[in-house]
Amino acid sequence: EPPDTPKDFSCQTQDMKRVTCTWTEEETYLYGQNSPRYTLSETSSQEVSLCKARCSKQCSCSWDIGQQRIWNVTVTVENPLGKKTATDVFDVKHRMYPTAPLHVWEDSTDTEITLHWNYEKIGIELFWQTEVLQPDGTVELHNSSNAESRQKRVTVRGLQPYTEYTARVRCGAAKHFWRWSEWSPPLLIRTKEGTPSGKLDMWREITPVLGGQNVTLFWKKTPSFQANGKIISYEVTLEKLEDGSKLESFSFSSVYNSTRIFIDNHSYRISIMAKNNVNFSLPSVLIISGAPDNSRSIFSTEELKEGQVNGTDDGILISWEPRSIYDSYIIDWCSFPRSQPCDLQWKRFGPNTSSAVISSAAFVPGVRYKFCIYGCVANKASILEKKIGYLRELPPRLDPVVRKVDLTYNSVTLSWDSYLTDESEPGFLRGYHVYVSPIQGNCNLKGSKKHILPDDSELCKYTIENPEEKRYTVEHLMPNTKYKIVVKAFTGGGESPIFNFRYIDTPYNSNMLYFVFLIVIVPTLVVAACHWKMKWVKECCCPVIPSPNKSKVLSFKEYKIDSEKVLKINDCIPDVLAMSSNTEAQKL
């Protein structure tokens, strides 16, 4: 192919002594003696070629400029199939591309960095740009100009003490800017140490003992605290409030974040400061009252009822009733409540806060956490409320122990022991479920709900929502039937899988047997007896000739004469009249 017009053709200088022109080489698919040939020439000069081009994708060609400042340079590319040209007209002073600064060094204070470097004069004024990379990844640029001095420098202020920064420098023409130079090699700089800023966050755990109190102090760095150096120790001071006397001072290595001290029954002011190689931080202060009413202990909190709180996707939600007298609130808890030490943690909140979500990587489902809420004023804390809760409740580990089963032909009464509800439980006990089902067939007892097991079998389910209940009666059972039954405790996390059924057999219905006896057996016996004494019954009830003295049919009070019964025959026409005896005949 014939050559194309050279692309990206431009010329520049780095030292005002020599000019370099560059352009992009194009593919012509001709090689050897037919490869493209490049020629640079000055249009106004009689000189044919200014320099010999060197190409490797990017072509370049350099020559000394002498005293000439304005140039009209033409690059010509040709091969056997054609020829093309490109032209660049420029003032050398307008095409300054300086070399990168070398041999950069620094000195620093706790808040400033000064960069130094040397740079040879090249006849034009340069200005400098310093890039400072902050620890958080942000970049700050600082511009400066040192026209007269051979030794250049720039000072960057407002930095953090004892912090690493990365700095580098580049330059460009102050007038007729063309291009920046390359960056100098990056320089890693750490500012010097300064006085710690802010205060440590201090908290305490108080245990009343004989003759005083054991106070466990904890401290940590807050987001607003800046060590501004390497912390070498923590200084703790105790001061008795009654007389203002300084009792003791303790110094602890920087590897510690807690200590235990004993104080008597007086009130004390406890302060802590962090120390680096320069100075101390401001003191953080707590006031411990001699009275145990503001302590975090069983003596001071047993009268407070523990409220239940719920876990969320982000943590455990804690809310409290705000009081206007406090300037801040503190919530403390143990990250590992089943261990000793329990890793006490705490968090501070402003006076206008009445709820917070407490989150921790240490929180796990099925563990009960206790939270104490304190109100703080004038460095003194008073406990306000206690809360207990779970990140997520789990089902109970054990079933209630059924101690007594009372059966009738159509009901069963179950009685069980009180269920444990201590802190070892994986959830708050919400109540009980009673499951019943006949061995044969499905369950459809009145007042129950249907429950389907994983194997598709059906159970009748009764819910007891009172966790204090320890007795329940299942009614409407069938007599003489075998049932399986189980009692399950449930929490906010549900209940454990259903197994370990108890099997019961309901007895026969005794009332039904008595009814059958009255309706069937008794009449049968009467009939049998009558059949057996037929003659006696007939003589007694239906004699051929009734006897007034013997017949129960004729037992009428109004027809008696003395002690004898009388048959009234006024309306009776007898077929036969027979005399029982002569005596009776005489009487008649």
C-beta neighbour count of 338 within 10 angstroms:
10
Q: Rounded to whole angstroms, how far apart are CA atoms 25 and 7?
A: 8
Q: Are 550 and 536 in contact (CB under 8 A)?
A: no
The DSSP symbol for 587 reads H
Comparing 524 with 198, which gets the higher pLDDT? 198
Model confidence over 258-297: pLDDT tens digits? 999 999 888 999 999 999 999 999 999 999 987 554 444 4
Residue 296: per-residue pLDDT: 43
Tokens of 375: 């109100």
Tokens of 510: 């005794």
Kindly give the pairing relationship between strand 18-24 and strand 7-13.
Answer: antiparallel
Q: Are 171 and 180 in contact (CB under 8 A)?
A: yes
Place 563 in a pLDDT band, splitting at 50, 70 and 90: low
Tell the burial category of 310 from Cβ atoms under 10 Å away from its Cβ (0-12, 13-18, 19+): middle
Is residue 540 within a helix (H) or strand (E), and if so which, with residue range? helix 534-541
Q: Is 176 helix (H, G, I), strand (E, B) or coil?
A: coil
Angle between helices 534-541 and 522-532 (to 10 degrees): 90
Model confidence over 118-145: pLDDT tens digits? 888 787 888 899 999 999 999 999 988 8
Q: Rounded to whole angstroms, how far apart are CA atoms 212 and 224?
A: 35
Place 168 in a pLDDT band, splitting at 50, 70 and 90: very high
Domains of the chain, earliest start first: 7-94 (2.60.40.10), 104-190 (2.60.40.10), 200-288 (2.60.40.10), 307-390 (2.60.40.10), 402-506 (2.60.40.10)
Share of the chain above pLDDT 70, in %: 85
> Of the candidates 426, 428, 406, which has an alpha carbon nearest to the alpha carbon of residue 416?
406
Q: Is 53 helix (H, G, I), strand (E, B) or coil?
A: coil
SS3 content of the chain, % helix, strand, coil (to 5): 10, 45, 45
Place 19 in a pLDDT band, splitting at 50, 70 and 90: very high
Residue 508 carries which side chain, given as an amino acid letter? Y
Q: Are 466 and 490 in contact (CB under 8 A)?
A: no
Residue 512: per-residue pLDDT: 57
Comparing 541 with 99, which gets the higher pLDDT? 99
Strand runs (DSSP E) across 65-199, as ranges?
70-79, 82-91, 102-108, 113-118, 126-133, 139-144, 151-156, 164-173, 187-190
Residue 424 carries which side chain, given as an amino acid letter? S
Model confidence over 411-458: pLDDT tens digits? 999 999 888 788 889 999 999 999 999 998 888 888 889 998 888 889
Tokens of 577: 């009249």
Is residue 516 within a helix (H) or strand (E), and if so which, with residue range? helix 510-516
Q: Rounded to whole angstroms, how far apart are CA atoms 401 and 135?
A: 62
pLDDT of 87 > 50? The answer is yes
pLDDT of 164 > 90? The answer is yes
pLDDT of 46 > 60? The answer is no
Tokens of 236: 């703790």
> Of the candidates 328, 326, 329, 331, which has an alpha carbon nearest to the alpha carbon of residue 315?
331
Model confidence over 394-418: pLDDT tens digits? 999 888 999 999 999 889 999 998 8
296-305: long-range contacts (C-beta < 8 A, 24 or more apart)? 296/204, 296/205, 296/206, 296/332, 296/372, 296/383, 297/206, 297/207, 297/208, 299/208, 300/383, 301/372, 301/383, 301/386, 304/383, 304/385, 304/386, 305/386
**pLDDT averaged over the chain?**
86
Tokens of 420: 């444990």
Q: Rounded to whole angstroms, how far apart are CA atoms 419 and 469?
A: 10
> Of the candidates 132, 137, 141, which has an alpha carbon nearest to the alpha carbon of residue 112?
132
Compute the C-alpha angle 209/210/213, nearest 5°. Answer: 40
| Residue that is written with structure tokens 């389907």 in the block | 452
C-beta neighbour count of 561 within 10 angstroms:
8
Tokens of 171: 């330059």
Place 248 in a pLDDT band, splitting at 50, 70 and 90: confident
Is residue 8 within a helix (H) or strand (E), and if so which, with residue range? strand 7-13
Is residue 390 within a helix (H) or strand (E), and if so which, with residue range? strand 380-390
Q: Rounded to whole angstroms, how far apart are CA atoms 528 and 463?
A: 55
